[in-house]
């Protein structure tokens, strides 16, 4: 019996040591949000995993830094969220975060201001915190990717034990979402030296009538996945006449791309997904539409902007 109690003690102690949430954190998101309503501060939610070296470094080193702590106490109410708990899973899904550690910046009403789907060492985190301490930056897009993060974690000797959340190289940029608290606009741009996928597939906005004497095999639509890469039957017969396309983002998660496609189509677009294959993963590029003139393309970009969707124009070669 004593051995059993001892083993249980070691188990719970190990988890507590690995998590080690800083003492100045609020208990949870609800607690932090109640405080933010009282003093008009933003909420900073930090997602972590119990058995993770990167999470332990994030909580024990980065967020325990005196300068980081000072900036947070002046401008934010911060709370932890365990990704393994029910509420942690719900919040990560709600804000479309997929990596550990990650964080979300929320206003007093629960609206998402910004998020980081990656860890940040002290210097980069301070940039993030100071940038969003200014309310005029709430709707601005900024890049807080930290190339030193993986090195900082790897060189840290303050952790021992299992690591269930290995560091994955991250290429996300962080941007606010101006329209809804249920979606975080975390885009993963393709590396600059990666060849761009040729713009061959388009959605034709004009109805086409196939020649009666030339039957063609058409793809059967999948009603459960309407936002997949454009099917053969929807390719344009006059694709070369399109001169411009509007791209709205590129994601590592297919569900994130699908959500954006649905939102764009709700605004009258003809969005679809193109796969961008990389050596270790597949990215999902969201094309909002293709156009004959630059004026048409820029007009739709302006329409998407009013709905809180960032996009940009590209010339089709």
Cis-peptide into 101, omega within 30 deg: yes
The predicted structure's pLDDT at residue 82: 92
Taking CA atoms, 90 is separated from 71, 94, 95, 99, in Å, by 28, 6, 9, 14
Q: What is the pLDDT along the chain (317 residues), one digit of tens a residue?
A: 454 444 444 344 334 334 589 999 999 998 999 998 889 899 999 999 988 899 999 999 999 999 999 999 999 999 999 998 888 898 999 888 988 999 999 988 888 999 998 999 999 999 999 999 998 988 887 888 888 898 899 899 888 777 765 444 444 445 444 333 333 333 333 333 333 343 333 344 444 444 455 444 444 444 334 444 433 333 433 445 888 889 988 888 888 888 888 889 888 888 999 998 888 888 889 999 998 898 888 888 888 887 878 888 888 87
Structural domains in the chain, CATH included, are 16-155 (3.40.30.10), 187-317 (3.30.70.1070)
The predicted structure's pLDDT at residue 43: 95
Taking CA atoms, 4 is separated from 9, 14, 249, 312, in Å, by 9, 15, 53, 61
The predicted structure's pLDDT at residue 2: 52
The predicted structure's pLDDT at residue 5: 47
User: At what angle are helices 66-75 and 122-132 packed, to 10 degrees?
Assistant: 20
The dihedral through the CA atoms of 264, 265, 271, 275 has a sign that is positive
The predicted structure's pLDDT at residue 164: 66
């Amino acid at each position: 019996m004593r051995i059993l109690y001892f083993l249980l003690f070691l188990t719970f102690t190990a988890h507590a040591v690995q998590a080690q949430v800083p003492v100045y954190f609020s208990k949870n998101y609800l607690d932090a949000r109640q405080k933010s309503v009282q003093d008009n501060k933003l909420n900073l939610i930090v997602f972590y995993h119990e058995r993770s070296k990167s999470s332990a470094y994030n909580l024990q080193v980065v967020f325990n830094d005196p300068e980081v702590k000072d900036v947070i106490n002046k401008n934010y109410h911060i709370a932890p969220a365990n990704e393994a708990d029910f509420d942690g899973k719900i919040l990560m899904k709600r804000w479309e975060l997929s990596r550990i550690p990650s964080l979300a910046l929320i206003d007093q009403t629960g609206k998402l201001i910004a998020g980081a789907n990656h860890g940040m060492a002290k210097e980069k985190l301070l940039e993030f915190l100071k940038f969003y301490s200014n309310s005029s930056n709430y709707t601005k897009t900024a890049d807080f990717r930290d190339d030193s993060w993986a090195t900082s974690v790897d060189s840290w000797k303050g952790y021992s034990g299992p690591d269930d959340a290995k560091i994955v190289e991250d290429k996300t940029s962080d941007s606010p979402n101006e329209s809804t608290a249920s979606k975080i606009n975390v885009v993963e741009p393709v590396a600059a030296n990666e060849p761009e996928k040729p713009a061959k597939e388009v959605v034709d906005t004009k109805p086409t009538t196939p020649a009666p004497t030339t039957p063609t095999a058409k793809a059967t639509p999948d009603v459960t996945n309407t936002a997949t890469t454009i099917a053969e039957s929807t390719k344009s017969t006059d694709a070369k006449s399109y001169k411009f396309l509007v791209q709205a983002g590129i994601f590592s998660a297919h569900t994130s791309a699908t959500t954006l496609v649905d939102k764009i189509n709700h605004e009258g677009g003809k969005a679809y997904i193109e796969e961008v294959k990389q050596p270790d993963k597949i990215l999902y590029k969201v094309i909002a539409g293709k156009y004959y003139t630059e004026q048409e393309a820029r007009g739709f970009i302006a329409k998407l902007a009013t709905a809180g969707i960032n996009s940009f124009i590209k010339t089709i070669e």
